[in-house]
Every structure is written in structure tokens, then in C-alpha cells.
A and B are shown apart, each in its own frame.
Chain A
Amino acid sequence: MALLPIRFERRLTYTRTAAILTTILAILLAFGAVAILFIILGLDVAAAFQTILNVFITPRLFFQAVVRGVPITLAALGLAIAFRMNFWNIGAEGQIYMGAFASTGIVLAHIYYGFLPEVLVLPTMFLTAFLAGGAWCLLPAVLKAKLNVNEILTTLMMNFIAILWVAYLIYGPWRDPEGFGFPLSIPFPDYAKFLFIAGNQAYTGFTITLIVAALIYLLFRYGKLGFELTVIGQSLDAARYAGINIAKAIVLGAFLSGGLAGIGGLSILSGIIGRLRPDLSPGYGYTAIIVSFLAALNPWLIVPAGIFFGGLFTAGEALQATLKIPGAAVEMFQSIIFIFIIFGEFLKRYRIVVGGGGSGG
């Protein structure tokens, strides 16, 4: 049987306008496909879309979207740094767990040894979550910089180590002695949680994502490191020619990337759950990869994109509660949107050539 006469060619250029149009088109097509799914399921499409829209306009539901969007956004912001230098960090999930681990460590150390004034506990948690997440990305970065080991594999495998490390602690030494043996740490005291302004923790988390987005913007706009990372991402040869210390830049960039995911882990504990537990992230580190590409690695766009995805998760629950849509159909709805976005990203990088033989563009 002959091969299909379809080839994928790498695009050399793709204009900014075309990229934006592709993304918008992908999202529109995704919702079109979702509409077909709803019709197949025999649902009222208008009511279903109204329910999805409600998530973004009903304050209480939208806050849930933001609360969930915060860890996704923070991890995605970190990934944007790595992806800009073509460092394919798939390890945000593990870095989230390490950030959660480190921030819990500070809470426990403070409660049992009391070495800090209470006001400094949360800032210290931020610092250690950042350092722990960053450190978790350091090993793959050094291996990549020194030995050119493929970071996709190393960062991915480090995830499982981090998840099991947290499981070990929570089933073992960090288990709440008064928690009837359930795998939970002691509850965080109020000073270790995001401030509940107006009864909602979304404000604090959202402010943090804006600050981080601004810092990343400044880093790439004015920072020397940002410039170096951009050059490395575009051409290693050019970077070498320009005399950039490539190994050092990769390690630093990866450290920042992992550190922000670590803060994402802190935001799950201090902003949502309120104590350490296994399965603390339902795959936010992986969702962050899609988010950061959807936003074309632009820090300002990552914030709304992250909240959009937080909203999609919340919409899944709203669809079930309102229209009694089965959970599996909701997962299909979310997956369809993910797939269309990923395919749109693919089209930005490759063109599909039908018919064999032709010379490459």
C-alpha cells in the first residue's frame, strides 16, 4: 500500500497576525465540534453554551475558575521562560509537588519549632516553594547543559519522584497525629493561607499571577538573561557566536521555570486545599503546557488563558449540575477543546503538503 501523499514541512516564518487568527479559529472550531457533540448527546446546545458562559459571568462560579486558574497560570508562566529557550520542561507537575512540599515544611517547622514571626511565614513559604521547584528543574537542566541529555524525558520522570516523595511524607512522618490516620498534614493556620478577602481567596492568587507576569515581561523586555534565553531559543549557533554562556543561561532559565511552578504548588495549598495531601494537583502541570502555548508564550496572555482553562474545568461541573450531562461527556468536551488548540499550535509550526514529490519550501 502506498503511503498517504501527505507530508509535514516546518514553517520558516509565520506572521503574528496569522498566528493570532489561527488560535482564534482553533478555539471557534473547537466550540463548533463541541456543539456537534452536544447535539449527538441530544442536548440543548444553546442551554449548554449558556451554562459555560455563566461560569465566566456569575461571580461565585468565576471565582472558582480563578482559584483553579492561579496554579495553572503560575506554572504556565514558568514554562513560558523554558519554552522560549527551547527547553522542553514537561516537569511542571513535579515542580508543583516540590513547591507544595517545601511550603508545608515551613509550616510544620514553624508550628513545631516556632522559629519565625507569624507574618514572615507566608513570605518564607514563597521563597522555599520557589527554591524547591527550581531545584527540581536543576538536575534536568544541568544534564541538558553539560551532557545534552534530552530534558523531555528527565523532567517528565522527575514528576513521578516528586509525587511519590510527597506521598511518602504524607503517609509517614507528616501525617496529622490527630487526623484519625488519614493521609493529610495538619491544617495550615490562617497566617499560612492566602488572605480571604471578601470571603474569597481568588483575589490574592490573581494579584500574584499579575505580579509574576509583569516580572517575566520585564525580564524579556529589559533583562540580559531574557535576551540570552531568546537568542538561545532562536539559534544556538547565534548564541555561541554572540559569546553567551549557554550552559549558565539554560540552568538559570530552567531554575526560574521550575521555581514558578513551585509557587503554583504553594498556591494550591495556601489558596485551595489548606493542607498537604496526596493527589493535590489534578494535572495542572500538564494543563499549563497547553496554556502557555495557547498564549503564544506571552506572559500577559497567559493570565487570561490560565483562567480560561480554570473556567473550562468549572464549566464541566456546572454542565453536570445544571443539565445533568454525564461526567464522561464533560471530559470529552474539555478534551475536544484541548485537541483543537494543540492542532492549531501544530499548524503554526508546520504546513501540510498534499501530494508527493514537491520540493520543500
Chain B
Amino acid sequence: MNKESRRKLTRREFLGVTKAAAVGGVIAAGVVGAAAGYFAGTGAAPAKTVTRTTTVTQAGAPTTITKTVEVPAAEKLKVGYVYVGPVGDFGWTYAHDQGRQWADQRFKNVESKYVESVPEAEVGGALESLIAEGAKLIFTTSFGYMDATAEFAEKNPDVYFVHISGYRSGAAGNAPENMSAAFAEFYQLYYLNGLAAGAVTETGVVGYVAAHPIPEVVRHINAFALGANYAYKKRTGKNIKCYVDWLFSWFDPGKTRTAAQALVEEKNADVLAFTEDSPTTLQVAQEYWEKGKRVWSLSHYSDMTQYGPDAHLTGQIVNWGPIYLDFYKMVATGTWQSVDIWTRIGDYLPWRWRLPVEKSTAGKPEGTVYLAPLNPAIPSEWQEEIKRRYEEMKELLFEPFSPEGNLGEPIRDQDGEVRIGPGERADHDMLWSMDWHVEYVETPLPR
């Protein structure tokens, strides 16, 4: 032993070693835990039976007895999905099917099946078929399936149900305990879209092609109009004007085309947001570009840049996968608990820390809801503003439905009544039952 190794450790060295050991320990524990959890929870054995050989050495007589027993492998989790549209709609249902595949790839020991194009009032046959196929976990992915999902949850207590975009669940107390509710919420992204719109509009008019006048769509229109006004007013000192064209349908490319053209030609809008399950609005905007007129639009649910390479400003994108995977794990490990969750920016990220603007992940896939790539045509100071707000919202430091999101002014409705006053923020219930438009929306809300 030499002298070196016997000398006393300095405090700094001790801390260094301890830190390394602690970090190493945490990492090692994490790796072991993850590996154990992975093999225990999901299993990687697709075979129907596993042969386990046990060798027993008996005391006294040195004979070795080899016993072979058939042990059933971890059973595949059977999952069913009910879709309202065709998986090829490149909108709502397409996004859900992408989420299903994302969750399946990561969970592995799962067999998922889906039934597509199921009319909202007629979900019973699809649910019965999936249950007959042995599904243990069923996702119903349209608002109109809510009551039937609750009814089937009551009739099938051994099957777990997750309803997307509704308000009934065991957690909310208005459905059985084997039913959960989940939703990936876009209003923050619509606000950021609004910022981008307000930053590029030349006419000061934005349009919105909207599906059904329900709170979800109403708050998205409001968030978009608020964002657009924020940017436009800061640029020019004038209020934005937002016009809405209602389709009363979730999927109608024909009507969408007419509506989008009307917003451009009759209302003079040069940015079009939309809630409709096809890229039609973006395509219409691109057609104007090809005719030499600058009209912008957005991505909806998935990256639609290819449908309007010039017209694509940014947009809202969803990945349902992490939400689905969570429910897979709950059911597989027997840790089901009825929940009523809505995910926003920052949820399902490895950490919830905001990044500096220059390192911002705005425009890159992450979590469950994220921003589509930002068009370089957006002026750089507004790109930075969008990134700053995006990062702030990861920690919920910024809320669009607050005076801060409206240049410090209280948020008023179309009648001029103050809905969100100084120091106030919209909460979940206000957002979920929103039945008024902000003052910048010119079109009255149908009722």
C-alpha cells in the first residue's frame, strides 16, 4: 500500500465520490427497476406456454430429479378501439390509430383491434363484438359514445373502458368505476397558432372553419382569436377580426372547401384555422398561394405540411400513444383506477422544466400535444414569443385565458361583459363549458 491511498479524503473529493455513487446508484436502480418492470409488467414471451425445468437435489440420496411443468405465459393484453371515422381520414381517427400503434409498439405483449366508421348513436354492436373477442380494455374515441360506454361499463364489470373527450367516468362520479375519461387538449396550441396568425396577417382578419358548436371547439376558436389579437394588436395597435364558418359536421371536405373560400373572399381573411378532420382547409390556402395570394393555414392532429408546403404556418399535433400506454399498464398490472384526465403542453414529458428560448422544443414532437414545425416566414421576434410562451406553458406559468394572454386587458365576451377579470385564470370547468365568444370573434355563436 502506498501513501497516496492512505491519505485522508478531502471534503471536495468525498462529495465528488458520494455524488458519483448517488448518481450511479439512482441510474442503476432506475435501469434495474425499468428492466424488472418491463419484464414483469409487459413480459416478452409471446409463446402460449413456457416449459420450466426444475432440478431438485434431494438431501440424503444424491439423485437429481428433473421436473418439467407447463406454465402459462403472461397472457396477451387484448385491447379494443372504436373509431368514429375511417383510419385513413388523416384527421381525428387517423391520429387515434397512430396512437394505438405507438402504444402497441412500446407495450409489445398486446393484441389490439379496432372497429372504424361506427356511427355515434350505434356503438353497441362494436362494443359487443370487441367484448366477444375477449377485449379487456376498450377505448371509445368519440364524444357521442359516452352514454353507451357507461352503459356497457355497468354491464361488463370485468372490462375496462376509457372514453375520449367526454365528461363521464368513475372518477367524476357519473359512471361506473371501470370507466375513465381522457382528453388531449389543444387550446394552448391554438393560442400559439393565433400568435403566429397575428404575426403574419396583412388584412387583420382571420377565419375559422369550425365543426360543431360545442365547448371544445368554442374554446379553441377563442384561444386562436386571443392569440391572433395579441400579436396583431402589438404590431399595429388595432384589434383582430375573427370570422367563423360552422359546418355542423366533423368531416365534410366539400363543405369545408366552400367555407374556407367564403372566409377568404367574402371576409378577406388571410389566415384560416380549422377544426375538421381533413387537410382541406390547408389545401385551399395552398391553392391561393399558387394563384399568387398569400393565405395561411395550419396542421390539425398530424403534420400536414405536405398538403400546403407554402401555406403551412404551424399547427396543433396530438400523440395519443402515451395516454393509451398508461392505461395498458394499469390494466396489465392490475392497478386500475378510474381517472378523468386532460393533457396539455408539458404533460407526459420526461421533465416539466421550461427550456431557454434558443433551446425550445416548440415545433418538435414531444408529450401528447405539441406544435407543428414553425414556418420560417413567421417573423423571428414572433417565433421567439411563440417559443417563450410554449416553454412557459410546460410549467403552466402562462395561461392563455387570463389578462396576461390579452395584453393585460380583461377578457370580454361579444357583449362586452368581462368574463375573466384582472388576476383571474380560466379553470377546467370554465374551459369545459365555454359557451361564449371573446370580443374579437365577429360571428355570433349559434344557439
Contacts and interface: CB of A to CB of B under 8 A. Distances in A.
B115 A328 contact: no
B214 interface: yes
A275 B150 CA distance: 14
B433 A181 contact: yes
Given A279-B119, A326-B116, A318 B125 contact: yes
B121 A273 contact: yes
A314 B121 contact: no
A280 B144 CA distance: 10
Contacts of A331: 117
Contact of B86 (A171, A172, A316, A328): A328
Nearest to B434: A181
Interface residues of B, number: 41
Contact of A58 (B132, B167, B433, B447): B132
Contacts of A272: 121-122, 124
A67 B214 CA distance: 29
Given A64-B125, A282-B121, A328-B86, A321 B132 contact: yes
B132 A60 contact: yes
Contacts of B131: 60
B130 interface: yes
Contacts of B117: 327-328, 330-331
A317 interface: yes
A64 B124 contact: yes
A297 B435 CA distance: 48
B202 interface: no
A322 B129 contact: yes
Interface string A55-76: 0001011011101100000000
Nearest to A281: B121
A321 to B, nearest CB: 4
Q: How large is the interface on A (under 10, 10 to 19, 20 to 34, 35 or more residues)?
A: 35 or more
A323 B263 CA distance: 44
Contacts of A172: 446-447
Given A60-B132, A182-B214, A324 B124 contact: no
Contact of B214 (A60, A183, A322): A183
A321 B126 contact: yes
B119 A61 contact: no
B212 interface: yes
A306 interface: no
Interface centre among A64, A268, A282, A320 (most CB of B within 10 A): A320
B104 interface: no
A281 B120 CA distance: 9
A321 B80 contact: yes
A68 B144 contact: no
Interface centre among B114, B115, B131, B432 (most CB of A within 10 A): B115
B213 interface: yes
B132 A318 contact: yes
B129 A61 contact: yes
18 contacts: A54-B132, A60-B128, A60-B132, A172-B447, A180-B215, A181-B433, A182-B167, A277-B144, A280-B121, A313-B122, A314-B129, A317-B125, A317-B126, A321-B129, A321-B132, A322-B133, A326-B86, A327-B115
